[in-house]
């Protein structure tokens, strides 16, 4: 089933938004790795709900409980089960969603797929809450990658009228990516923090929501990671990125902009840098033939406006089998672009770790 992923590290994700807990089982990790719990907690905190006025007011501690696979803070090599309990649930808010489907949410498709047995409360297994386990596993993967000097960072490239310059137009450094990781609202131009907050607060005041584009870069990756065709870096990574709820687009390097150029204007030309090969530009976002070329991996993720909004909308009533107007109650994120960033970085780390492990099979 779709709840499992991975060739070398294997993930099994579980839980429902208003069930007892959410979590992840992470298998294939070698013994003897010391967990950096401070880093993991910081990543969990970045994703957690209820931390500010621009996110949902559902307040969860998001404390991880490790049930297996770690002893005295060190991996044992057996499956790691990380559980995060749900505490602040208000299931009554969702009583209508079983029969009246939220527009742009998964209530209809979940109902059809699971023959009406799906747990609809808070979006059930489709909820953004399920990504908490991914962030635990991803933070752990990031920690391992960091030991190989691989650094991941992201910023909000676009949100309504607020735009930033992209990573391909900046002089990227690992320090810059690390600094972005420490910011509440990660942006290159600090003046955009307030603008983004204002845009989200405006949407919230209108009981509406907004989407955004997140851009992510990875520095320090060796050339030669990934495979052609089905396990290309783009295929593996976008497979995981599209697993994140609310992600509707992924673009590598110049992506759709390639249509505006001629090859002579956009080709990434290699040159000799001492004994290494480097590239004069990075329009392909660090991947050629599905394999990393040693340049930073750069991609964008399109996040849709949160489906659950307070405004009156049109839908269908499954019981009466008729069209209805209705309003959604409950607590929701007016914008997901901020909370989704640690999730994007987590799946990036997991995809890369899995591909790096695959590459090591030849050693």
Ligand X SMILES: Cc1cc2nc3c(=O)[nH]c(=O)nc-3n(C[C@H](O)[C@H](O)[C@H](O)COP(=O)(O)O)c2cc1C
Q: Is 138 in the site for ligand X (CB under 6 A)?
A: no
- Region binding ligand X by CB under 6 A among candidate stretches 112-120, 304-312, 317-325, 344-352: 304-312
Residue 84 engages ligand X in binding (rule: CB under 6 A): no
349 neighbors 142 (Cβ within 8 angstroms) = yes
Contact, 40 vs 110, CB < 8 A? no
- For ligand X, the binding residue among 340, 344, 350, 352 (CB under 6 A) is 340
The smaller minimum CB distance to ligand X, of residues 47 and 158, is found at: 47
Using CA atoms, how far apart are residues 313 and 10, in angstroms rounded to an integer? 40
User: With CB under 6 A, what is the number of residues at the site for ligand X?
Assistant: 21
Residues 315-334 that bind ligand X (CB under 6 A): 332-333
- In angstroms, what is the minimal distance from the CB of 132 to ligand X? 8
Query: From CA 187, how far away is CA 338, in angstroms rounded?
Result: 10
Query: In Å, what is the CA distance from 292 to each residue of 151, 152, 184, 282, 346?
Result: 15, 15, 30, 11, 19
With beta carbons less than 8 A apart as the criterion, state whether 340 and 245 touch.
Answer: no
Regarding 105 and contact with ligand X (CB under 6 A), the answer is yes
For ligand X, the binding residue among 127, 162, 192, 346 (CB under 6 A) is 127
Cα angle for residues 203, 207, 208 (degrees, 5° grid): 50
CB of 117 to ligand X, least distance (A): 17
Q: Residue 48: beta bridge partners?
A: none
Residue choice 293, 308, 315, 348 for contact with ligand X (CB under 6 A): 308
56 binds ligand X (CB under 6 A): yes
Using CB under 6 A, which of 241, 246, 337, 351 touches ligand X? 246
Cα–Cα distance for residue pair 85/46, rounded to 1 Å: 17
Binding residues for ligand X (CB under 6 A) = 56, 105-106, 123, 126-128, 131, 244-246, 304, 306-308, 332-333, 336, 339-340, 343
């Amino acid at each position: 089933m779709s709840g499992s992923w991975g060739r070398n590290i294997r993930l099994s994700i579980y839980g429902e938004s208003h069930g007892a807990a959410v979590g992840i089982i992470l298998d294939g990790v070698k013994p003897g790795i010391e967990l950096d719990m401070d880093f993991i907690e910081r990543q969990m905190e970045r994703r957690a709900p209820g931390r500010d006025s621009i996110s949902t007011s559902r307040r969860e501690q998001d404390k991880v409980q490790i049930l297996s696979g770690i002893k005295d803070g060190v991996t044992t090599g057996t499956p790691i089960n990380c559980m995060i309990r749900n505490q602040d649930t208000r299931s009554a808010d969702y009583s209508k969603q079983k029969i009246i489907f939220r527009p742009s949410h998964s209530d209809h498709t979940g109902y059809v797929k699971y023959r009406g047995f799906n747990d609809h409360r808070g979006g059930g297994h489709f909820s953004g809450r399920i990504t908490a386990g991914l962030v635990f596993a991803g933070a752990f993967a990031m920690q391992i990658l960091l030991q190989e000097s691989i650094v991941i960072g992201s910023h909000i490239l676009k949100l309504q009228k607020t735009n930033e310059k992209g990573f391909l137009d900046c002089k990227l450094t690992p320090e810059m990516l690390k600094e972005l990781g420490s910011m509440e609202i990660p942006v290159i131009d600090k003046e955009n923090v307030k603008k983004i907050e204002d845009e989200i607060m405006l949407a919230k005041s209108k009981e509406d929501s907004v989407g955004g584009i997140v851009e992510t870069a990875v520095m320090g990756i060796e050339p030669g990671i990934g495979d052609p065709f089905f396990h290309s870096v783009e295929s593996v990574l976008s497979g995981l990125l599209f697993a994140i709820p609310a992600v509707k687009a992924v673009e590598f390097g110049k992506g759709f902009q390639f249509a505006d150029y001629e090859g002579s204007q956009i080709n990434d030309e290699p040159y000799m840098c001492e004994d290494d090969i480097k590239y004069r530009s990075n329009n392909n976002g660090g991947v050629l033939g599905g394999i990393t070329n040693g340049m930073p991996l750069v991609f964008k993720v399109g996040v849709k406006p949160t489906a659950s909004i307070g405004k009156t909308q049109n839908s269908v009533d499954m019981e009466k089998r008729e069209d209805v107007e209705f309003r959604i109650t409950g607590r929701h994120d007016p914008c997901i672009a901020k909370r989704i960033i640690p999730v994007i970085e987590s799946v990036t780390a997991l995809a890369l770790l899995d591909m790096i492990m695959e590459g090591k099979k030849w050693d």
